[in-house]
Amino acid sequence: MVAPRVAYFPDSYHEINGVAHTSRQFEAFARRRKLPFLCIRAGKREPRYVREEELTTLELSRGLLSFALEKDLSFDPGYLRHLPAIVRTLREFRPDIIHITGPSENGMLAAGLADYLNLPLAASWHTNVHEYAAQRANWFVRRLPASRKQAAADTIEHLALLASARFYALARILFAPNLGLCRLLERHTSRPCYLMQRGVDTQLFSPAHRDRSPQDTAYVLGFVGRLSIEKNVALLATVQQGLTALGLQNFRFCIVGHGAEEAWLRQKLPGAEFTGVLRGEALARAYANMDIFVFPSHTDTFGNVVLEALASGVPAIVTPDGGPSSIIREGETGLVARDEDFAAAAATILRDPHRHRQMRIDAREHARHASWDSVFEAVYAGYRTIL
| Confidence band of 352 (pLDDT split at 50, 70, 90) | very high
Residues 275 and 133 in one domain: no
Q: What is the pLDDT of residues 33-52, one digit of tens each?
A: 999 999 999 987 777 888 98
Residue 128 has pLDDT above 70, yes or no: no
- Asked whether residue 238 is assigned to any structural domain, the reply reads yes
Residues 283 and 153 in one domain: no
Selection from 126, 117, 121, 67 nearest residue 94 by Cα:
117
| Confidence band of 19 (pLDDT split at 50, 70, 90) | confident
pLDDT computed for residue 127 by the predictor = 73
Q: What is the pLDDT of residues 71-90, one digit of tens each?
A: 667 888 899 999 999 999 99
- Asked whether residue 177 is assigned to any structural domain, the reply reads yes
Taking residues 1-23, report their average pLDDT.
Answer: 90
Read off the amino acid at residue 27. Answer: E
* Highest mean pLDDT pick, 60-64, 133-137, 240-244: 240-244
Taking residues 151-160, report their average pLDDT.
Answer: 74
Residue 129 has pLDDT above 70, yes or no: no
Q: Which domain holds residue 127?
A: 6-199+371-384
Residues 378 and 282 in one domain: no
Residues 182 and 71 in one domain: yes
Please report which residue ranges of the chain form alpha helices under DSSP H: 18-33, 83-93, 105-116, 129-136, 138-141, 146-168, 179-189, 234-245, 262-268, 280-288, 304-311, 324-327, 342-350, 353-367, 372-384
Q: What is the pLDDT of residues 210-228, one digit of tens each?
A: 999 989 999 999 999 999 9
Residues 42 and 77 in one domain: yes
- Asked whether residue 253 is assigned to any structural domain, the reply reads yes
Higher-pLDDT residue of 163 and 291 is 291
Determine how β-strand 219-224 pairs with β-strand 292-295.
Answer: parallel
pLDDT computed for residue 131 by the predictor = 59
Residues 281 and 176 in one domain: no
Residue 369 has pLDDT above 70, yes or no: yes
Residue 384 has pLDDT above 70, yes or no: yes
Residues 242 and 171 in one domain: no
pTM score, whole prediction: 0.75
Residue 134 has pLDDT above 60, yes or no: no
Taking residues 286-290, report their average pLDDT.
Answer: 98
- Asked whether residue 29 is assigned to any structural domain, the reply reads yes
pLDDT computed for residue 277 by the predictor = 93
Q: How many domains does the chain have?
A: 2
Higher-pLDDT residue of 133 and 221 is 221
The count of other CB atoms within 10 Å of the CB of residue 219 is 17
What percent of the chain has pLDDT above 70?
94
pLDDT computed for residue 124 by the predictor = 94
- Asked whether residue 262 is assigned to any structural domain, the reply reads yes
Residue 142 has pLDDT above 80, yes or no: no
Q: What is the DSSP letter of 3?
A: P
- Asked whether residue 40 is assigned to any structural domain, the reply reads yes
Selection from 22, 65, 47 nearest residue 302 by Cα:
22
- Asked whether residue 1 is assigned to any structural domain, the reply reads no
Residues 270 and 356 in one domain: yes
Mean pLDDT of the chain: 91
pLDDT computed for residue 135 by the predictor = 62
Per-residue H/E/C for 79-126 = HHHHHHHHHHHHHHHCCCEEEECCCCHHHHHHHHHHHHCCCCEEEECC
Residues 231 and 324 in one domain: yes
How far, in Å, CA of 225 to CA of 259, rounded? 9
Residues 163 and 225 in one domain: no
Please report, for residues 21, 118, 207, 384, the alpha-carbon distance to residue 295 in angstroms, rounded to integers and kept in the order given. Answer: 18, 43, 19, 36
Helix (H, G, I), strand (E, B), or coil: what is residue 339?
Answer: helix
Residues 189 and 274 in one domain: no
Residues 98 and 232 in one domain: no
Taking residues 359-381, report their average pLDDT.
Answer: 93
Determine how β-strand 97-100 pairs with β-strand 73-75.
Answer: unpaired
Please report, for residues 112, 249, 368, the alpha-carbon distance to residue 61 in angstroms, rounded to integers and kept in the order given. Answer: 20, 49, 37
- Asked whether residue 322 is assigned to any structural domain, the reply reads yes
Taking residues 294-317, report their average pLDDT.
Answer: 93
Residue 132 has pLDDT above 60, yes or no: no
Residues 363, 292 contacting (CB under 8 angstroms) = no
Taking residues 240-253, report their average pLDDT.
Answer: 95
Helix (H, G, I), strand (E, B), or coil: what is residue 73?
Answer: strand
Higher-pLDDT residue of 2 and 106 is 106
Higher-pLDDT residue of 315 and 51 is 315
| Confidence band of 141 (pLDDT split at 50, 70, 90) | low
pLDDT computed for residue 146 by the predictor = 72
Least confident of 137-146, 248-257, 273-282: 137-146
Q: What is the CATH number of the domain that holds 159?
A: 3.40.50.2000
Q: What is the DSSP letter of 9?
A: E
